[in-house]
Structure 1
Amino acid sequence: MDNQDDLSQFLTSRRAKLNLQQAGLPDFGGRRRVPGLRREEVALLAGMSSEYYKRLERGNAKGVSESVIDGISRALQLDAAEHSHLQELIRSANAGTRPQRRRHPRRTQLTPGVQQTIDAMSGVPVYVQNGRLDAVATNRLGRALFSPIFDDAAAPINAARFIFLDPRAQDFYREWESNTREIVALLRVEAGRSPYDRQLSDLVGELSTRSDLFRKLWGAHDVREHRSGIKRIHHPIVGDLDLTFLGLDLTTEPGLQMLVFSAEPSSASHDGLQLLANWSASHSIETNSAESTTSANHSPDK
């Protein structure tokens, strides 16, 4: 990934989203050759010279201070996720092309203590992912809830690969289109944080090659945080579910996020989630029983 190019394209895309009225600037008429604000207008709003801002939008982030970042964020009306993303892009652009050590190693599994904790949360689905949206761990109900993602999929299990490349995703996610935008925005955030992640670059390259929609959304440079919201799915076993989720960063497992899902009490989704919990428990018992029988039949004593 080209760090300077990403910075340039992000700033250009945010500038194109604002008009004069939104920015509080007077409109004197006349033809405007670019969508949104001009560079000079952003510089005016940010309190800096036009040449300085132009240099920054070309990807030259040398010596950019926090006050400058704050000024640009105000001028472009960036939200918290966009502001944080801009900071990461500037950090990466300043690093140039020199290989950088990852601030935290990419985790691919949980420590036994954390896995034990999420297994104990048996009444709610729990799903743990890394920044690339690889599935790192689940509890039993979490795996049951997202069973289509795990079925017949090669490791690493990845939410982005499922939603863009697996035809079942459009049935599973009842708001599939908005979910595709969310997925790409999350990957954009991770690309800003980890521009030297080869596996992330490979994933983006694969999805860009195989999905026209992904390629279009990736070019929009939208970013967002994944903290809370509603997930509406159609589960193949229990039907429609409307679930509230909370995204919690695991401080003991840097780079991992735990998603916890729940349903409104006494709702149809709550009943459906309970039915799924009962199904997953009985299915687990049946699977363990079958494995035990198979093991016994192959015992040397038989």
Structure 2
Amino acid sequence: MREPHVVPDRADLPERVTIWEVGPRDGLQNEQGTVATEDKAAFVRRLLAAGLPIVEATSFVHPRWVPQLADAAELMTSLVADLGDAARELPVLVPNERGLDRALELGLRHVAIFGSATETFAQRNLNRSLDEQFAMFEPTVRRAREAGMDVRAYVSMCFGDPWEGAVPVEQVVEVGRRLFDLGASQLSLGDTIGVGTAGHVRSLLRAFTTAGLGVEHLAVHFHDTYGQALANAYAALEEGVTTFDASAGGLGGCPYAESATGNLATEDLVWMLHGLGIGTGVDLAALTEASVWMAGRLGRPSPSRVVQAQSGA
């Protein structure tokens, strides 16, 4: 299988980055057809075997809201039985204290909360106002930290909202700062509908730095609706970001934002990074095989350009 020709671009780019794989959770959550629990578990195992250091496995959201992830407890129980303690290190999304309770029951160690940078999306996704979301998340984060868990905070709609349009940078920074200050160790900035551009990425990251939250605490989560995800990832690299969310095979969307298409494909990101001489620890061939395997389970080809090129699709 082909590998990119390595031509380091700039000495000031990071030497190594961490890819936060979201395919099993964010990638599969919007699938209409039910994916079997055993296939989800196999997908997670394949991604781990490909060298991905962090694989977000599922979400303990109410099945009514995301039916695809109704088997979260069954999936994690299966993975713990198969992988032992390593499975307890896999991050899971918890929307509230009830979700946290389920994660605690299974002895999991990493959770994530999912906030909104806009009023409308907070109402639609969380059934809370922009301000009320912090009161909902505070006890969840506090209890998780008291239990020794690591907590990540997602911020959605950082670059644009389908109902409100452009989102002011200062509004995103205020929301992100408040979520981080609840006790999160990392903030993931999401371009949920994929409208961001490279200049916008730089502006937002610099605004966070000015507000006292350096890039070492930030991750980026790009969608490729307008074909800008890789360009945006490169802009984030230039700003010193070293954690990038991506989804194997480009799977995913958002069940609460119809204009959100697939996530940045992990394979496409890895191809770019490896070509720049930036280490990831990921075996691109094994990762591609995992995405081709899941595409077969879903009954359609992967949207990832690298997967298509490597598999002859």
Same fold (TM over 0.5): no
Relative contact order (C-alpha < 8 Å, sep 6+): which is higher?
2
Higher helix share: 1
Give me the TM-score of the superposition, normalised by structure 1: 0.26
Higher gyration radius (CA): 1
Structure-2-length-normalised TM-score: 0.26
